[in-house]
Chains A and B, each alone.
Chain A
Amino acid sequence: MTELSVHPAASKVSTHSGLIYVCKLVAAGFGVLLCLTTLKFFTEHKFTSSHSGFEGALAQPQLDLLLIGSSHTRKSYDVRAIEQATGDPSLFLVSYDGIDLTSISQMLDYMASRPGKCPRHVVVEAYGVLLGRKPDLQDSRFFIEAPPSMKPEILRSYVAGRPFGPAFLDAFDLIVNRGSDEILAFPLYAWAQKVDSYKGGRIGFNFAGMTPEQFHALKASYYGTSPNPDQLASLNHIMDLAASHHIELLFVDTPMPGPVSSNPVVQSLRKDFRNIATARGYPYIDGNEGFPVNDPELFSDSNHLSSKGRDEFTARIAVQLKAWLAGEPVGRPG
């Protein structure tokens, strides 16, 4: 910025008046910010599309089948193909990057407590690696798109067990800063979501497969080697909720590339997840079983299916979902 000269008359100010000026400036800055942030907190979920996300699921007049999970879920299901295969038009997919069982249980809690919003069938992503992670909020869109009454609970689980300083700064960042772009660019953003989404699923994007060199260089990454107690509690809470609200629950672990899927820690966490779910009598489908997990073309990175992989998996899972919706046993029943 070009250095600004100042009006000569303004320079005859005492230190005391100067300090008052600076204090007023700081107070006005934070005062306006507080007003804007409060407004944002209570209205930002209105600036989201009814075509995707949690707000999109809530906007559905009737919800029979809900697919819920992280980016694995988003990139593994072709919602349109599942709709055609199952003949169920009242389905919706909700996905947020890195969303864990704690956040999923918060969403299901909210839906279950609202008349007419509770889905009859829920497919929960059973990504074992996230079972070993401390509850976290990787995708701030979950907070932004959540109704205001849900936000305190999301914040509480986000900052729980963390030192005050970093937790405060992260919460500040989340409440004040995140989502501002989506609000400012709302008409464009809503249009893009409408074009890009079909019942919460992504359309129109092509995720290329990997080269054999890239595929064989893949390494598994994980947060912990054993289930996190908070995530376990959330998993049990989801199953309790399903039981109390007569929700049909199905756990599905989507396919992972062979070099990652075969990692002992990943396998151990997957086994833990499956055992917990089936012990309570809930069906569990391991998407890796029978899937060509060693074909590089079917995966776009260490975690996600390519577009070709998604089509392959959708064709397989759609058959099982149709059977499950018809009340037939699928996967590994408990």
Chain B
Amino acid sequence: MLFNSLQFLYFFIIVTTLYYALEWRWRWKMLLAASCVFYMAFIPAYIFILITTILIDYWMGMLIAESTGRKRKIYLQVSIVSTCLVLFIFKYCAFFGMTVRELQGLLGAAQTFPITHIILPIGLSFHTFQSLSYVIEVYRDKQKPERNLGIYSLYVMFYPQLVAGPIERPQNLLHQFREDHPFDLDNVATGLRMMLWGLFEKMVVADRSAQYVDKVYGSWTHQSGLALLAGTLLFAVQIYADFAGYSNIAIGCARVMGFRLMTNFNHPYFARSFSEFWKRWHISLSTWFRDYVYIPMGGNRVSRSRLYFNLFVTFAVSGLWHGANWTYVIWGSLNGVFLIAEHYLSRAGWRYPANFIGSLLRRFVVLLFICFAWVFFRAPSLHSALYILQRIATDTTLSRQSVAGAVSQFAGDISSVAICAVTVLLIVVMLAIEYGQEYIFHSAHQLYIASLKYQFASTVLLFQLIMLFGILRASAFIYFQF
């Protein structure tokens, strides 16, 4: 059940209406049932995997809280190993098998290692991380164990953020299920507006960009350098608008019912450094890796070489988390290398000019390298990623013929001109609104916030943009595959 489908619209209306119609003590039960229905809309049988993870971590959470000394650590390890085992079996088994086979081939042995292909349960990486977050926080005594299995299940399964986050922490979310959320117009209006903005990002910006990206990356051997460069830039836009759009719909959807989920994106492409970028991009995952991988490894309170090692490992693992393919590992590792280089140059005293040009240059350099890494994220294989980069470097020309050829990839005919122009315009609109929110219109923004009339008008306008310029056929979110 995709957020941008009619099916979800019906589901959302029914669940929200029921939520406010029911007494407080019934609400969490209804939400749990609704979350089960939501999850089972994908592959019903896979709910048993989710239930297994929930039961293990719920039980381990209780045992950790009730025990002392070494036993606590053992229970934590049991929880981490068993949860990660589920992740390994369903997500990494085939990847592991193929890697072993390649090694066998390199060593000259027969490639006999068995490969098992299993359909990945939707959102597995997200809810396993959310579940692990709970157990670790209980172990660290930062969270009391949740004794109500139903409430704990809802914490893992809460439908707005079940399949692609934000990966919540128990301290932020668990207690909200025990609180009463009376109908509040502010919450409803703000939530609906966030959902609509998310739908705009997804259906208007991401899905339009995807039409081009899919075409170009789907036939990368036949594309010119310019088309591949345009495809890469549009992929940078697509993945941001797709995932930020999803996050806004999820946060807005929860907000309509009075729940506050954490912010997941904060205008990352305006970042002036790589470290700032990762404080703005997929914040719930970045902070997860920071708190549960990077800091336990020693964080930055170690020697410089160890710090760089920690950074590299954290980002390489983060890449692997995204997908069972070496392209993702390279993508993560590259981002680690960028951060290390930035840290090294900063310590060596290298600075950008402290003026407007310097500020622009910083943003451009970050965007350039981030886009470079996106090639590995989007390309179907390492070989294709290298080919695409080589083609961009050696075959990008700005002749009339090459521009026309690149533009025609939008629709394959003369409509491509109109689609290209409107897509670029809508991307500029999205970025301009975000830029305005961050840097310019502070007072106007306050005025906007203060007036329901402005909110009303902007919501109606946003709806028109989605209906007139969005891709109305529901397409899956990129991060659903993780």
Contacts and interface: CB of A to CB of B under 8 A. Distances in A.
A169 B417 CA distance: 26
Given A29-B460, A173-B473, A6 B186 contact: yes
What size tier do the contact residues of chain B reach?
Answer: 35 or more
Interface in A148-183: 169, 172-173, 176-177, 180-182
B387 interface: no
Given A29-B459, A173-B472, A13 B185 contact: yes
Given A33-B463, A177-B470, A185-B422, A3 B251 contact: yes
A185 B423 CA distance: 10
Nearest to A165: B6
Nearest to B407: A192
Contact of A1 (B248, B422, B425, B463): B248
A188 B459 contact: no
Contact of B421 (A172, A185, A193): A185
B446 to A, nearest CB: 9
A22 interface: yes
Contacts of B189: 6, 10, 21
A279 to B, nearest CB: 35
Interface string A17-30: 11001101100110
Interface string A76-98: 00000000000000000000010
A302 interface: no
A162 B372 CA distance: 46
Nearest to A144: B415
A248 B417 CA distance: 36
B388 interface: no
B468 A177 contact: yes
User: In the complex, which of the residues A5, A36, A182 has the most CB atoms of chain B within 10 Å of its own CB atom?
Assistant: A182
B361 to A, nearest CB: 26
Interface in A181-229: 181-182, 184-186, 188-189, 192-193, 196-197, 202, 204-206
A131 to B, nearest CB: 24
Interface in B139-197: 183-186, 188-190, 192-194, 197
Contact of B414 (A5, A22, A52, A176): A52
A169 B188 contact: no
Interface stretch (B82-90, B337-345, B449-457): B449-457
Given A2-B437, A169-B6, A189 B417 contact: yes
Contacts of B464: 29, 32-33, 36
B192 A22 contact: yes
Nearest to A74: B413
A113 interface: no
A244 interface: no
Contacts of B197: 1
Contact of A193 (B248, B414, B422): B414
Contacts of B463: 29, 32-33
B186 A10 contact: yes
B468 A189 contact: no
B478 interface: no
A6 B434 CA distance: 18
B456 A6 contact: no
Contacts of A177: 467-470, 472
B416 to A, nearest CB: 9
Contact of B198 (A1, A25, A181, A205): A1
A90 to B, nearest CB: 23
A222 to B, nearest CB: 21
A31 to B, nearest CB: 9
Nearest to A40: B468
Interface string B184-214: 1110111011100110000000000000000
Interface in B306-344: none
Contacts of A18: 183-185, 188
B20 interface: yes
A4 interface: yes
A193 B194 CA distance: 39
A7 interface: yes
A182 B415 contact: yes
Contacts of A6: 186, 189-190, 449
Contacts of B194: 1, 3-4
B263 interface: yes
A141 interface: yes
User: In the complex, which of the residues A169, A181, A185 has the most CB atoms of chain B within 10 Å of its own CB atom?
Assistant: A181
A191 to B, nearest CB: 8
B73 to A, nearest CB: 38
A15 B183 contact: yes
B413 A22 contact: no
Given A18-B183, A25-B460, A181-B469, A192 B417 contact: yes
A11 B184 CA distance: 6
Nearest to B437: A2
Interface in B1-23: 6, 20
B481 interface: no
B468 A176 contact: yes
Contact of A2 (B6, B188, B266): B266
B418 interface: yes
B419 interface: yes
A21 B251 CA distance: 21
A180 B184 contact: no
A35 to B, nearest CB: 10
A244 to B, nearest CB: 34
A32 B468 contact: no
A188 B20 CA distance: 50
26 contacts: A1-B197, A1-B434, A1-B437, A2-B263, A2-B438, A3-B251, A3-B255, A4-B193, A4-B449, A5-B190, A6-B190, A6-B449, A7-B186, A10-B186, A11-B184, A21-B452, A32-B464, A33-B463, A33-B464, A33-B467, A36-B464, A141-B415, A180-B468, A185-B417, A188-B417, A197-B414
Give 10 closest A-B pairs by Cβ, nearest first: A6-B186, A13-B185, A192-B417, A185-B418, A18-B185, A29-B463, A185-B421, A1-B197, A189-B418, A181-B422
Given A22-B192, A36-B468, 17 more contacts: A3-B251, A3-B263, A5-B190, A6-B189, A21-B185, A29-B460, A29-B463, A33-B464, A176-B467, A177-B469, A177-B470, A185-B421, A189-B414, A192-B417, A192-B418, A196-B414, A205-B408
